[in-house]
Amino acid sequence: MKPVIARTREELAAARARIEGTLAFVPTMGALHEGHLSLMRQARGSADAVAVSIFVNPLQFGPGEDFDRYPRTFDADVEACAGEGVDLIFAPTREVMYPDEPQVTLKSGPMGEVVEGAARPGHFDGMLTVVLKLLNLVRPDVAVFGEKDAQQLAMIRRMVADLNVPVRIMGGRTVREPDGLALSSRNRYLSAAERGTALALSRALRAGADAAAEGPDAVLDAARTVLDKAAAADPPLALDYLVLVDAATFTPAAAGGPAVLAVAGRVGATHLIDNVHLQLGKEH
């Protein structure tokens, strides 16, 4: 059975009122892939019903970023949701989400100005604003976000805690291609040669994780060795950042304990991110 598709706030409210029991929610920007589907399966195991949103949020794209060319595959997305037993799809237009130019938005604070936030100023302000709007409209009991966007997940958890939003946030593990490349809607932009270079991101993370027992410096040195080779490749990888941070705060990681090794770079015109969780001072 196909999911109910709500395109307006009124249609969403009516569909939400018909849902009995608990509701799990997976916000997306569409162009769904196996990573998204894994989040839907996790949502299905966490609640009685599942809702998915499909909305390419203009607030989280900066000048010169890929908002206009971001892939939009709505019909295929609906079929994918149906295959996972999704009950409700909220697919608003920009006018539905932002009927007027927003005057009051969320500020991500210092946590949103580092790492990915430093590379994309204002990105997390727009992301948090739309996520809060979606949570208020859908009113789920549980919301599931991918761990591939580790900083996004950490910031959403912080927002929910700071603003007392009544929803439980769950993280879903990163899904990878057989060659190690983290699944992303942007991967379809890559040529065969660019994809070969992009594999350096996951290889660098594996090299860093393998050095976790030796401490932070060894982790970063091992990852940089891989990335330096990719910077000299054809086509090259333009590194945006490589950081080792605390998973909850995205401040520099302590010498021992849990951490996230996060990397981002551009291959051609495509911006890609990836990360791995590790335990400093212990073998990965």
Q: Which DSSP letter does residue 182 get?
A: B
Q: Residue 18 in 3-state DSSP?
A: coil
- For residue 146, say whether it is annotated as part of any ligand binding site: yes
Same domain, 197 and 167: no
Residue 123 designated active-site: no
Same domain, 151 and 43: yes
Q: How many residues does the chain have?
A: 284
CA atoms within 13 A on the CB side of 88: 29
Domain residues for the domain of 14 are: 4-172
- For residue 279, say whether it is annotated as part of any ligand binding site: no
Same domain, 82 and 201: no
Same domain, 86 and 151: yes
Q: Is position 147 within any domain?
A: yes
- Per-residue pLDDT averaged across 20-46, rounded? 97
Same domain, 156 and 258: no
Taking the C-alpha atoms of residue 154 and residue 147, their distance in angstroms, rounded to an integer, is: 9
- For residue 184, say whether it is annotated as part of any ligand binding site: yes
Contacts of 268 (CB under 8 A, 6+ apart): 189, 190, 191, 194, 235
- For residue 31, say whether it is annotated as part of any ligand binding site: yes
Same domain, 10 and 36: yes
Task: Give tens-digit pLDDT for 42-76.
Answer: 999 999 999 999 999 999 998 878 888 889 999 99
- For residue 133, say whether it is annotated as part of any ligand binding site: no
Q: List the structure tokens of 39.
A: 């989040």
Judged by average pLDDT, the poorest of 55-69, 204-218, 265-279 is: 55-69
Residue that finishes a domain, picked among 128, 144, 172: 172
- For residue 186, say whether it is annotated as part of any ligand binding site: yes
Contacts of 208 (CB under 8 A, 6+ apart): 219, 220, 222, 223, 244, 261, 276, 278
Q: Is position 179 within any domain?
A: no
**Helical spans, DSSP H, in the chain:** 9-17, 34-44, 74-83, 94-97, 116-119, 123-138, 150-162, 192-210, 216-231
Q: Is the pLDDT of residue 283 over 90?
A: no
Contacts of 95 (CB under 8 A, 6+ apart): none
Hey, what amino acid is at 118?
A
Give the active site residue among 36, 123, 271, 284: 36
Same domain, 148 and 268: no
Q: Is position 284 within any domain?
A: no
Task: Give how many domains the chain has, as a whole number.
Answer: 2
Q: Is position 97 within any domain?
A: yes
Q: Is position 180 within any domain?
A: no
Same domain, 221 and 158: no
Same domain, 204 and 168: no
Same domain, 257 and 163: no
Q: Is the pLDDT of residue 95 over 80?
A: yes
Q: Is position 65 within any domain?
A: yes
Same domain, 62 and 194: no
Q: Is position 205 within any domain?
A: yes
- For residue 185, say whether it is annotated as part of any ligand binding site: yes
Q: Is the pLDDT of residue 284 over 80?
A: no
- Determine the distance from the C-alpha atom of residue 42 to the mean position of all C-alpha atoms in its chain, rounded to a whole number: 15
CATH at residue 37: 3.40.50.620
Task: Give tens-digit pLDDT for 134-193.
Answer: 999 999 999 999 999 999 999 999 999 999 999 999 999 999 999 999 999 999 999 999
Same domain, 118 and 254: no
